[in-house]
Structure 1
Amino acid sequence: MELKLLGCAVAVGLVQLLWAAAAARRQQGLVWAAGPRDEPMPISGVAARLDRAFRNFMETFPLFATAVIAAYLAAKLGPLTMWGTALYVIARALYVPIYAAGIARIRSLVWFVAMAGLVMVVAALFR
């Protein structure tokens, strides 16, 4: 189950990447995007929030993936890793629309839930 959830986390990341890129292209235009991008073209609003949400995902996902694979290789999979991976994936999927909508406090709570899931997977390595 944990490896399937890891695959789901990859899908969450791909959706985030495509959503953030589409929102940015709407503001920046395809001509700028197809060019050399020598001059930065800032984004704002929802597009900027989607970009920050994706960057935040990219900060935690390598740690999550490494922890899940390490738990698998160390034969430490069990209820703790299953619930931890589920919490991480579900919370990361919810994080994006909440961040895009600009709901600050709930966004922080959802981020904390995802981090708790990651910590659960890491904790299983030491059991």
Structure 2
Amino acid sequence: MTTELQMLVWSVILGLAQIAIAAVGSMAQRGPGWAASARDGSAAPLTGVPGRLDRARANFLETFAFFAALVLAVVAMGKQDATSALGAQLYFWARLVYVPVYAAGIPYLRTLVWAVSIVGIVMLLAALL
């Protein structure tokens, strides 16, 4: 399996973990009754760590489709090289670091880590161009 595909698989695992962690935080704040309900009404916004974990999850989902599409395109077109491998690794490791940094509420470091993940996506794109 190529480095790019390995990072894609690990990113899927990370995404599933973020969904689970955000759900646990949400349930801790809103209660199991809300989690089991049809959620027809509006819930109060999540605050504190649960809110940050939920926003980190949403942010992951905003970038993951681009990452996955580019990894699959790179592999399908046989364009894997050191740049695409490094780009995939940068994306995964930055997204992994992003979760605890965001949960801890470290603003500038969070933005820097996010930017590194975007650089990883751009590197994958560069491998295709």
Q: TM-score, normalised by structure 2?
A: 0.95
SS in 1 for 2:79: coil
How do residues 1-127 of structure 1 correspond to structure 2 at under 5 angstroms? 1-42=3-44, 43-126=46-129
Once the two structures are superposed, what CA deviation does each residue of 1:4-37 show, in whole Å capped at 9, x if it has no partner? 1100010111111111110000011111211121
Instruction: Supply the distance in 2 between the matched residues of 1:66 and 1:94 (Cα, whole angstroms).
Output: 22
Query: Shift of the alpha carbon at 1:38?
Result: 1.6
Query: Shift of the alpha carbon at 1:44?
Result: 0.8
Which consecutive unaligned segments of at least 5 residues does structure 2 have?
A: none
Once the two structures are superposed, what CA deviation does each residue of 1:54-85 show, in whole Å capped at 9, x if it has no partner? 11000000000000000001110010010000
Identity between Structure 1 and Structure 2 (%): 45
Instruction: Supply the distance in 2 between the matched residues of 1:61 and 1:36 (Cα, whole angstroms).
Output: 28
Instruction: Supply the distance in 2 between the matched residues of 1:78 and 1:115 (Cα, whole angstroms).
Output: 18
AA matched with 2:76 = L
AA matched with 2:115 = F
Instruction: Supply the distance in 1 between the matched residues of 2:43 and 2:29 (Cα, whole angstroms).
Output: 9
Query: After TM superposition, which residue ranges in structure 1, 4 or more long, deviate above 6 angstroms?
Result: none
Q: When the two structures are aligned, how many residues end up with a matched partner?
A: 126
Instruction: Supply the distance in 2 between the matched residues of 1:65 and 1:2 (Cα, whole angstroms).
Output: 9
Q: TM-score, normalised by structure 1?
A: 0.97
Q: Relative to structure 2, which stretch is displaced further, 3-12 or 28-37?
A: 28-37
